[in-house]
Amino acid sequence: MTEKLIRDLIPDLIRAEGREPAVRVAGPEERLGLLVAKLSEECAEFEADRSLEELADVLEVVSALAELLGGTAALEAARTAKRTARGGFSAGYVLRI
């Protein structure tokens, strides 16, 4: 049986349809791996669709990863430090290698 991480309210939505979901709660030690797999899944969906809805899914997984790895404030601090030191991506520069 294949398993994948789902959003917190999905089991309730399945129950509201009169079905019983086959779910379990992942332990803290396995959440990182499940979130990394979910990030790959959501990035592939965004690549195929390129919609803001799919990008929002990517952002939700990134937020969950940030919380697991030290918090969203720590992520924002790291992002800001990198942007200050190396810039962002808004100019669209492409390096020829």
Task: Count up the domains in the chain and report the number.
Answer: 1
Rounded to whole angstroms, the Cα distance separating 51 from 40 reads: 16
Q: Is the entire prediction scored with pTM above 0.75?
A: yes
Residue 7 lies in a domain: no
43's CB contacts (< 8 A; 6+ apart) are 58
Residue 4 lies in a domain: no
* Residue 80: how many other CB atoms lie within 10 Å: 10
Kindly report, residue by residue over 8-62, the tens digit of the pLDDT: 999 999 999 999 999 999 998 999 999 999 999 999 999 999 999 999 999 999 9
Residues counted in the chain: 97
Element (H, E) at 6: none
Residue 97 lies in a domain: no
Residue 42 lies in a domain: yes
Largest CA distance in the chain: 56
Give the tokens for residue 65. Answer: 């990863």
Structural domain containing residue 44 = 27-83
Residue 22 lies in a domain: no
Q: How confident is the model at residue 1 (pLDDT cuts 50, 70, 90)?
A: confident
